[in-house]
Chains A and B, each alone.
Chain A
Amino acid sequence: MSETAEAEPGDLAIATTGLTKRFGQQIAVNGIDLAVPRGAVFGFLGPNGSGKTTTIRVLLGLAAATSGSARLLGHDVPTRLREALPRVGALIEGPAFYPFLSGADNLRRFDAADRHADPATRAERVARALERVGLTHAAKKKARAYSLGMKQRLGIAAALLEPRDLLVLDEPTNGLDPQGTREVRSLIRAVAAEGTTVFVSSHLLAEVEQICTHAAVMHVGSLVAQGSLDELRGTGSRVVRVITPDGDRCVSELAHLGLEVGPSDLAAHRAGDAEVVAPLPDDGPAAEDVVAALVRADVRVRGFDVERPSLEDRFVALTGEGFDVAR
């Protein structure tokens, strides 16, 4: 049926090379090389204003790239876009509707715009999409009477009118309450379980961290990191954290084991206790052996933990700022 399967040998749902978009003097997207594997749930992360939505607009052919190239489901953008788009569902910079039409009529309208959609199955597909996002009860209500969260869900329903190979969701949880956010997350999981690649942008890391297999981080128009979540967290960057009243002895024993403790990593914890943090290399001793060695050396251990830095820490390091920073 669709010839998308063999079109891209690298099997990437989205691939860009040096993709750049300028608006006058301002560079919105600066030479990014994005690689989204098929079947991934790909978090496209970055603070507001870092170029995420512009990238999505270029990928979907709404805006022309200034330079660089992009492929969507193996088809060149924008020349072969019309072959890729019917297999792509999208929510771009918030949902948009005809306020004077009902929710169901809005979906019918977007479906009629897709020349590949079969009108014979339209009513059924509209009903199923509404059911999927839990809006069946509001199908006949005018879109202007929808709450922000309902509009967001209707937008997702529009993206799910057809079975898709790729779902692009730009900030899908905007305006949703915690319950709505959970629903969107489980919807994404369900869609991904059917084999659809999901490309979800967000400025809220915590919201997508739990569902993504891969992620990329944008910062001021540039791609500063991308890969699987494990790659991004950095496998070699585990740390041990020891809480002990015997801080100095602990530091020297850890050094004995080959664990470097920086001067700033020894801090007062609570009355009398010190907190010692040391990086634990992958080829270093096993964590349980570290505890055994400490105890043998008469270091009294009140607390012991092996941690990976959270993605959040990693991204703050990459972007030099927290998420949520409006720019």
Chain B
Amino acid sequence: MLPKLITFEWKFHTKQPSYILFSILFFVGGIYFGLQDGAIHADNTYNLHLFVGIVSLAAIFQIVFQTAYTVLRDLNADATQYIHTTAVGKGPFLLSRFLGIFNTAVLSSFFYVAGLLLSVVTDVFSIHPEEPIQLIHFLWPWLVVVVPNIFIISSFLFLTTIISRKVPVVFLVGFVLFASFWINNGYIGSPIGGGRLVVPQEMVDTIALTDIFGLCASHAQTQFWTPLQKSTKLVFLTGSFLYNRLLWLGVALASLLISYRCFSFRLRAQKARRVGLLKHIRRKRVQRKEKDGKKLPYLPIFTEKQSLLAHCKEFATLVKIDFQTTLFSKPFLLLALGWVAVLCMAISHNLNGQEVYGNTLPTTGLIVGLILEPLSYMGLFIMIFYAGELVWNSRGHRFNEILDSTPARNGLLLGSKYAALFLIPITLIVLAILIGLAFQFLSGYTAIDVLLYLHIFYYGGTSLLIYGILSVCIQLLSSNKYLGMLGSLIFIYGAANLLPLFGIEHPLAQLFNLPKIGEGYSSFTGFGSQEALFNKFSLLWVTVAMLVAFGSFKIFKRNSEWVLKEQLRKLVRLWNPVQRFLLVIFVLIICISAGVIEHTVRNDSALMGQSELLHFREVYEKKYKPFAKLAVPAITDIKTKVQLFPKSKSYQVIGDYTIQNITTRPIDTILITARHPLDSIVLTGARIIRKDMASIDARIVVLSPPLQAGESRQMHFKTTKKVGAFEVQRDMAQNGTYLRNSTFEPRLGYQQALEITAQSERKKRGLPPQEDPENIEKTAGKTLPKQGFETWITTDIEQIPIAPGNLLDTIQMGNRVQYHYRSTRKTDNNLSYFSAAYKKKAIQYKGITIEAYFLPEHGSNIPALLNAAVKTLEYGSKHFGDYPFDHLRIAEVPSHWKFGGHALPGTIALQERFFTQDNQDPLKGINQLTRVVIHEIGHQWFGHKLAPAPGAGGNMLNETMANYVEAQVLERIFGKTMVRQLANFNRRRYFAFRSSAEAQEPTLNKVTNETYVAYRKGFLAMQSLKELIGEKRLNYGLRSLIEHHGEAQSARAEDFLDILKATGTQEEIELITDWFENRFQYAIQGKLLGIKVNKHTHSVTLKVSAKRLQTNETGTEKEVPIDERITIGFYQKDPADPSADPYFKKVRLSKPIEEITLQLKKLPNYIVLDPMITRLDKNVQDNLIAIEHTNEH
């Protein structure tokens, strides 16, 4: 019988519209991903693993639909009694139903893999490598990830259905499974989530097990793999990945067993409500008394149908009943609990940054941002789901014939659906606000902004309003609730993405899509630069949605038949005058708002679609690449007049630059490129021979007479810019301008940064493989001079304009104010102009004025900020020479800047988030405020006073050294524990980023833009170096470097290494070479062999395993002999305890495995090998030995 049942189920499922639709979607989805340049890397095994595995998430939705249909189909069709009384046994019955779901879902997922494979093999856009495709790379992840996942998901949903027998609960559990992946993923920041967070290994291990889908476990296994390994190795069924699969398959099997136990062919008895004894007695008494009540005769009653009161009462009772049947239900309760849990996790996770990120104050802006984000993606599903539930509410409960035969008007029946539907997000938002308030009150945070909370209704609710209206309309046209839900999902997603997919990139082509508000809330810019645009699009799409709603009232089906033709007939006929009038009004608003947007687009010269941008870059490269070989003059002096108009988000810059030929040959031709067209540009003795203003301002000028070697000339330019409404830019803000010179400045020479970088896109456009930027710089190969700088910066009077340099004077002109700055020292060309309604606090430190500029409400961390500044100035002046300026300005910039801080000469931009960090317990985690302040001040020596020459290795002198300063000053302020934490953070980040890096890993002395080398590896290398030669010698070397290269941008990494090597021993020279000029990793491990108690000492014997691994640029490891000294730390307290006061000893390791016996006066509780984490070691957990005092012999 079982085979027949399975065959029947197979036939049943494969005929379902949902199955057919999902299979098509998966196949098309596979083809689509395969055609996406940069998404699929067919030559990268791990990339394929992720892309194949991700279909598990989409499979949830298919399984939800199929489970709801299959398991409950007897119940829904009232067929339970005769199906459940057939001869079929419980086992075959359930197994066939389960296999029906599982088999078809597996087949659908295979269509996705087939689609992916097809598009990769056919490679119509020539975006994939030419190497032969290995089928196993596609099939393996499908076998070990997707198929087990489908089994697991099907089992859970099957159990859910058997127990609850409610479709909404199945949907909800499906959603929870879906959300659980993203929560897990977000916690560890695995590549799919894109977070790349640095979290403790324990959390990675935990999440690897708790992730139902095994993708986080794949990440745990591969997190430190090299790019080469990721390209060639399959994710093994070992370790945490194997445990994950076994664990969840086991749980799935258990779920099936429980399903078997719980299922019964017997009809389920109604649950008796439990009542207390007293209540029971009281109820009985009342019932007896009220058994028949006072006899009343039945009399017809006058009814009132036309009055407003009647309509209001009808509406109220309809809303109440819909609300009651959907919201006061277990599924909604579960949804609300899930919502609360998601928010609590998100808020607490953000407030408590744990070991790495430090605590954050629960500002209303932060919480509102955290609410808006999940609301946007959860909201879509919620609206689609409940639109279906509400539209089909009376039909679902077979109450429709009674309801529809009442005289209630269509408008009220449908209107009440809308009202009940919109009450759902309102309830969720209110709940979210209450949670936010609870967090704020519990944290003792009192600066609560109620108005800002109310913004959630607008910025979060508008999209949901639109989604709700569309979903209701689609449900009204649909013959089936679930088909309607699927149709809504496809329509809403398709409306926003279909036209752009075909290259129509006009903002209006993203139908029903509102601009994304909320890169988080900023106290400077509110919800971002696109607030005004949001309003325009809201008006447009809400009006269109209202029109759809209007049409919905026309097509509302009250009869029990589904007649699409009849509905459409109603839509075009039977319009009364009022309806016609409303129609005209709606159409007018739509036309006007679309017209306004279209006008804005036309006027927005900066607006460029992706294909336009790529075309422009292609043309630029093809036209101007030959100019890359020409020598370029250097800028030696800068004078600017900057007029900022924050209210209109516009500026005007007049620049007078001095350029100099620093080469040995005359320069007769220069290519000048400005990203924004210039109003004018004049270069003494120059003639423009070609001007290309199509998308960018590119001009070729011929110098007559040529610019001779060493000769200087003046370049004068003027540029004016008003930021377009659609333009995504960060520089200009109504409050919080941070205008970088690279935004407006004309650049001399060919700009390689404008080239297309994606190799496949280059191939498609007939461009040769991109040259290594290094080569171009080598051809330039010059030491660059520093520049003088002077500016007059003008802004509105309520704001303070800031720029690098000494403030010479301020002038007030009506409602404008001008500040005049001039730098007393020459700087590099790294300049920005600030303007905001700042509050200022200044202190003096040894003749240096330290000024903090911040928003008035962000003053709580200023003392800590100033303290960090003083401590850094103290350390820097003592060890690296005088601080180069008489001032140090630290100014707050809006949170839309992705950097933590940015160092300009004597002036630092510090991102807003550090001003809202919770600094009450400065020792909790890494104190990021202090760390970033130290780092940026460190750049005043390493970056400005010492400016590296352009080219490879420059970032080692900039960022590695600023990180070194971080470590030293942090240790002085907060102690060794924080530096250990910071080193661990850098260690993990190095391995994680190296793992996902596409380029080969350069050595530290040749680093260019590889942050994981310059910042992360550099930090550890400098700490190793400090241990090797001592802080004093190291600092002396740095000071010497600065003194030799203070006048020009001339320092190279080799210069620094040469200084060190000049005074080093042979061993030191070899290690410095290894760490800075080669790639080395370590695998250090310690084990306690025994403790012997002597008279006054303890003799502790350790087995230390220390491997030294040399890696090449792709990460291939080769073990090499070790012979170096490492530090051992002895702790009484946990090494993570800020009050731990360890003492260190150095031991020489010259064999891969050694037994070391240490004589200790006092027995520690912990012994840690390499306690300050100075070596790149993938696993530092095995460096820590906890001593149990019972180990003493």
Bound together: no
- Where the two chains meet, the residues of A that have a C-beta atom closer than 8 Å to any C-beta of B are none
- Where the two chains meet, the residues of B that have a C-beta atom closer than 8 Å to any C-beta of A are none
